[in-house]
């Protein structure tokens, strides 16, 4: 079943606000050896503001590809990606980077924190890039980290934190600029089951508290059941799950 998408998320009367994310007819091919594989073959997906969606699909089906395209980290070969109603396919790199910085938070499986910076500095950095003063950025970073239970770890560097703590810093960093859309690629994939449950709990709580729209790839069905919707990838298309 293909999801019918009205990318700007409006009713016939034009009353509703734009969707946080809409993908329409997204195609992505990679050359492999002599030939090419088509990973996404006209994928459609619409996510409203405040909605959380789990992406549960087999390894190699294209989850990371879809997330990278939705996060404007990668270009599609065809189709359109609307962020907050803005079509992005024809934008240049500078404009795509600007939208990404303003509107999108990304959490990776491996936290990708800067090793030489403390927890607070890692979370302050994206805010300062956006133009906030160090004082304002640090204040928000401390609030977020404390909310995530890291109040006693603010000045620790990543190497001084556990895997679960590092991933909570990565969650705080992704939400630091109050994005409209949060994308996460197996955010608890490298954690043990108990830590994974704890980190995912913190993530879902923060998603609810901030009202950010979220698309989270996970192999964990129990964690996926806590999201508003579940989707999968079948033959390069997004399919809604029960
Ligand atoms: N840069 C690339 N060049 C060539 N092929 C690629 C590239 N990136 C991904 N692929 C291929 O596209 C397919 C989908 O990859 P992708 O990483 O999106 O899958 P995934 O569902 O995220 O997998 P996993 O759950 O194992 O991380 C795979 O067959 C992969 O080999």
32 lines ligand 1 (CB under 6 A): yes
Under DSSP, the state recorded for 72 is: T
**Distance in Å from the first CA to the final CA of the chain:** 12
Sign of CA dihedral 12, 18, 23, 25: positive
Across 9-23, 109-123, 176-190, 225-239, least confident range: 9-23
In the chain, % of residues over pLDDT 90: 69
Could you read off the pLDDT of 133-180 as tens digits, one per residue? 999 999 999 999 998 889 999 999 999 999 889 999 999 999 999 999
For residue 61, the CA-to-ligand 1 centroid distance in Å is 7
Residue-level pLDDT at 158 = 95
Residue-level pLDDT at 230 = 96
Mean pLDDT for all residues in the chain: 90
Helices and strands counted in the chain (H then E):
7, 10
For residue 66, the CA-to-ligand 1 centroid distance in Å is 10
Q: Is the ipTM of this complex over 0.85?
A: yes
Across 28-42, 143-157, 164-178, 191-205, least confident range: 191-205
In the chain, % of residues over pLDDT 70: 93
CA-nearest residue, atom 26 of ligand 1: 59
Under DSSP, the state recorded for 178 is: -
- Name which of 121, 81, 138, 132 is nearest 104 in CA terms: 81
Question: Structure pTM?
Answer: 0.90
63 lines ligand 1 (CB under 6 A): yes
Read off the pLDDT band of 229 (50, 70, 90): very high
For residue 176, the CA-to-ligand 1 centroid distance in Å is 29
Average of pLDDT values for 107-122? 91
59 lines ligand 1 (CB under 6 A): yes
For residue 65, the CA-to-ligand 1 centroid distance in Å is 6
Looking only at the bridges linking them, the beta strands covering 21-32 and 35-47 are antiparallel
């Amino acid at each position: 079943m293909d999801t019918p998408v009205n990318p700007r998320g409006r009713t016939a009367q034009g009353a509703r606000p734009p969707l946080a994310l809409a993908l329409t007819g997204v195609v992505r091919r990679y050359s492999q050896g002599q030939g090419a594989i088509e990973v996404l073959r006209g994928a459609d997906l619409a996510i409203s503001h405040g909605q959380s969606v789990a992406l549960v699909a087999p390894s190699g089906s294209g989850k990371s590809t879809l997330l990278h395209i939705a996060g404007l980290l990668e270009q599609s070969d065809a189709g359109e990606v609307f962020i907050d109603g803005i079509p992005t396919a024809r934008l240049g790199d500078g404009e795509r980077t600007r939208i990404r910085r303003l509107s999108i938070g990304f959490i990776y499986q491996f936290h990708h924190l800067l090793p030489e910076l403390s927890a607070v500095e890692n979370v302050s950095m994206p805010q300062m890039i956006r133009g906030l003063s160090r004082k304002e950025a640090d204040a928000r970073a401390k609030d977020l980290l404390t909310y995530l239970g890291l109040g006693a770890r603010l000045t620790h560097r990543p190497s001084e934190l556990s895997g679960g703590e590092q991933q909570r810093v990565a969650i705080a960093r992704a939400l630091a600029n109050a994005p409209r859309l949060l994308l996460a690629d197996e955010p608890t994939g490298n954690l043990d089951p108990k830590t994974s449950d704890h980190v995912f709990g913190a993530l879902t709580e923060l998603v609810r508290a901030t009202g950010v729209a979220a698309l989270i790839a996970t192999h964990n069905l129990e964690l996926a059941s806590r999201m508003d919707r579940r989707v999968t990838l079948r033959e390069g298309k997004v399919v809604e799950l029960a």
